Amino acid sequence: MDRWLANGRTRFILIVILLTLFMAGVLSSSSLNLSAQGGTWEGRYWNNRNLSGAPALTRQDASINFDWGSGSPDPAIQPDNFSAQWTQTAALAAGTYRFTATMDDGMRLWIDNVLLVDSWMDNQVRTITVDVYLSAGSHQITVQYYEAGGVAVAKMNYVLISGGTPPTPPTPSDQWYNEYFTNTSLSGPPTLTGTTSAVNFNWGFGSPAPGFPADYFSVRWIRNVPLEQGRYRFTVTADDGVRLWVNNNLIIDQWRVQAPTTFQAEIDLPGGQIPMKVEYFENTERALIALSWTRISAPPPQPPAPTGFTGEYFNNPNLSGSPVMVRNDAAVNFNWGHGSPSPQIPVDRFSVRWTANLNFAPGRYRFSASSDDGVRVWVNNRLIIDAWWDRPVQTFTADADVSGTVPVRIEYYENTNLAEMRFSYTQISGQPGTGGPFPGTAVVTAYRLNVRQSPSTNSAVLTRLSNGDTVNLTGYRNGDATWVHIALPNGSIGWVSALYVRTSIPISSLIPVAGTFPPSPPPTGATGVVITGALNVRVGPGVNHVAFTQIVNGTTVTLVGRNAASTWVKIILRDGRQGWVNVSYMSIGVPVSSLPVVNN
């Protein structure tokens, strides 16, 4: 009897051990599948913040889950001012996936070339989550990151939160689908889900549900709302942070700790089922959130044909996606100060595109753009002003010859602080001709030189000049001083490359007609000194490009940019011409990597 009992106990213990090993194997397999859906990542690392040039390090990373603190990813990478890119092709089942990105400083995330996370700015550690439905099959995932200084954190992961077909809004349509999270960043799986008839809660010092925390939680509500066409005013009151999307447009973004505060925004909506999403987080003490809306006007009558500019307004600084607002502006002449163009446009980080077909009497016109911050202007489909960078208000001008109905396009973005954009033009002369007075002459230095219809090698050739020929300068050049406008002895006019003429006056003193004016300013102190006997200046960044002049030992020039490999720099000569020299023969006053990468 004792032997039977002993053997029974032995058999029982063996069975328990076998079952434990089996369950451990099953669980560990599931965990591996969850944490490595797409396998390893190809990681590339740069010793600069803009992923430019050749990477300093390439390796395979098992996951994007890094907290380097004040250190760096590798001894080959500096602890500050570095960047990285990870790519992965993942074979995924159909379903809705939650992507969670945590970063200090900037991070961007693309799925199949669609930008889902765009947080490219200096900041402390923060987390962003995005839910997206993906079909079954292979998907390309790209993550870009940069570190400015201090702590360095880069984390990104994704999990399948629901399989099958894309999620549909809850039914009936008068219900909100809600997800409650026990953190303030809506990250990870929700702790509670359900439906509610309205987003209107005042929890006070309490919690949303028994057993749920009263502080440090977040909620997401989603719903399709049937609305008539018209303009609507949305009102939301929150303590603490709140964001509101209407018809896929972020119209209220107040994601911060705050006392109970009311915010309003207006938006024009089409008729039909309008998607809405509300996100909220509670920090400590009182908790409340209330959302309402009202239709304030019916659709306006069909406007007459516009007589000014069609303005497309975007609630991001890069004119991406669909415009939040489209309207007719009689003129581009705005000084918004610390305000915005409309209640539905944020006061910072917005952009606008204006287009119009304008009628011009034949002649030369001076176009002027005053902006804070970036501006670009196209006239007759030609970019004549390109000043796309942050700065206080500044005025840029460029001259162009136009006649008849001409398309004009203006693009503008506002970063922070004051916002201003003004555009104007005035006729300064008739068509340039050969009547003079001429400010100077040009002597041909090439064996044969093409005279072209416009300042481009793609333009038609009007005639050819020979070495030693002398022609008059009309007083105009293109924006980067690589072409000059000339008057021929037979009375005709045209353009020649500035690289193959010797002018009696500096080319930089001529008036710019087309192209970039002025060029984006180089970093302070961006100069170089020749440290060899004679240095060739070439038309492009490489010894395979023609040298059009030489500069001697000790000559100081201004630097305007570099090639991607940082082996050649683009310079401005004293006469205004631009060309390329090898950095090996220059003593340069700034790091070459700090110069912008520019085209030939």
Domain layout of the chain by residue ranges: 1-35, 41-163, 176-297, 309-429, 440-512, 527-594
10 Å CB burial of residue 354 (0-12, 13-18, 19+) is: buried
Cβ–Cβ < 8 Å for 322, 351: no
The CA-atom distances, in angstroms, between 360 and each of 227, 410, 423, 515 are 45, 17, 16, 20
Residues 6+ apart with CB under 8 A from 316: 118, 349, 350, 351
Stated as kind and residue range, the H or E segment containing 85 is strand 82-92
Burial class (CB in 10 A: 0-12, 13-18, 19+), 399: buried
Average pLDDT over residues 216-228: 92
The band of 304, judged by pLDDT with boundaries at 50, 70 and 90, is very low
454 close to 491: Cβ distance less than 8 angstroms: no
Element (H, E) at 182: none
Reported as a single tens digit per residue, the pLDDT across 179-188 is: 999 999 998 8
| pLDDT (0 to 100) of residue 46 | 94
Among 497, 495, 364, which Cα is nearest to 432's? 364
CA distance to 95, 96, 516, per residue, from 170 (Å): 17, 16, 53
Tokens 């949305």 map to which residue? 234
How confident is the model over 216-224, as a mean pLDDT?
93
> Whose CA is closest to 293, among 352, 349, 231, 241?
231
Please say whether the structural domain 309-429 has been given the CATH code 3.40.50.300: no
Backbone angles phi, psi at 48, to 5 degrees: -155, 170
| Phi/psi of residue 576, nearest 5 degrees | 100, -15
Relative to beta strand 106-111, strand 578-582 is unpaired
The answer, as to whether pTM is greater than 0.85, is no
- Confidence class of residue 469 from pLDDT cuts 50, 70 and 90? very high
Query: In which residue are the tokens 């007075």 written?
Result: 437
The whole-number pLDDT of residue 473 equals: 86
Rounded to the nearest 5 degrees, what angle is found at the Cα of 130, between the Cα atoms of 126 and 135? 150
Q: Which residues pair with 95 in a beta bridge?
A: 134, 163
Half-sphere exposure of 10 (CA within 13 A, CB side): 6
Please, is 351 exposed, middle or buried when counting C-beta atoms within 10 Å of its C-beta (0-12, 13-18, 19+)? buried
For 3, other C-beta atoms within 10 Å of its C-beta total 7
Lowest model confidence (mean pLDDT) among 124-128, 381-385, 463-467, 528-532: 124-128
Least confident of 1-15, 260-274, 383-397: 1-15
Per-residue model confidence as pLDDT tens digits over 307-357: 579 999 999 999 999 999 999 888 898 888 888 898 889 999 999 999 998
Q: What is the assigned CATH class of domain 176-297?
A: mainly beta
- Containing 275, the helix (H) or strand (E) segment is strand 272-282
Full 3-state SS string of 538-589: ECCCCCCCCEEEEEECCCEEEEEEECCCCCEEEEECCCCCEEEEEHHHEEEC
- The mean predicted confidence, pLDDT, of the chain is 82
Under DSSP, the state recorded for 120 is -
- Plot region of 261 (φ>0 → left; ψ -120 to 50 → alpha; else → beta): beta
CB of 161 closer than 8 Å to CB of 97: yes
In sequence order, what are the residues at sequence separation of 6 or more whose Cβ sits closer than 8 angstroms to the Cβ of residue 482? 455, 497, 498, 499, 577, 578
pLDDT attached to residue 526: 79
Query: The tokens of 60 are what?
Result: 């395979």
DSSP states of 149-173 as a string?
A: SS-EEEEEEEEEEEESSPP---SST
pLDDT digits 0-9 by tens, 328-339: 888 898 888 888
Percent of the chain with pLDDT over 90: 34
Residue 515 has a pLDDT of: 41
Q: What is the mean pLDDT of residues 121-134?
A: 82
d(CA 408, CA 355): 6
Q: Flag whether pLDDT at 120 surpasses 70.
A: yes
Q: How far apart are CA 385 and CA 400, in angstroms?
A: 11
Band (pLDDT 50/70/90 cuts) for residue 12 is: low
Percent composition of the chain: helix, strand, coil (DSSP 3-state, to 5): 10, 55, 40
- Tokens 């180089």 -> residue: 522
Rounded CA-CA distance 81/146 in Å is 7
Tokens matching residue 514: 């087309």
16 is written with which tokens? 């328990």
The per-residue pLDDT for 507 is 80
Domain 41-163 classified CATH 3.40.190.150? Answer: no
CATH number of this structure's domain 527-594: 2.30.30.40
Which CATH number does 440-512 carry?
2.30.30.40
> Residue 252: pLDDT above 80?
yes
Residue 453 token pair: 């219809």
Q: Dump strand ranges (E) for 123-271.
A: 126-134, 137-147, 152-163, 176-181, 192-196, 200-204, 217-227, 230-239, 241-246, 249-254, 261-269
Q: Which residue has the tokens 């002459």?
A: 441
Q: Over range 190-204, report the average pLDDT.
A: 88
Three-state secondary-structure class, residue 514: coil
> Would you say how long the chain is, in residues?
600
Q: Which helix (H) or strand (E) holds 303?
A: none
d(CA 117, CA 121): 12
Task: With a cut of 90, say whether residue 84 has pLDDT above it.
Answer: yes
Let me know if the fold of 176-297 is the same as that of 527-594: no
State how far the Cα of 343 lies from the Cα of 556, in Å rounded to an integer: 51
Question: Looking at per-residue confidence, does 138 or 82 come out higher?
Answer: 82
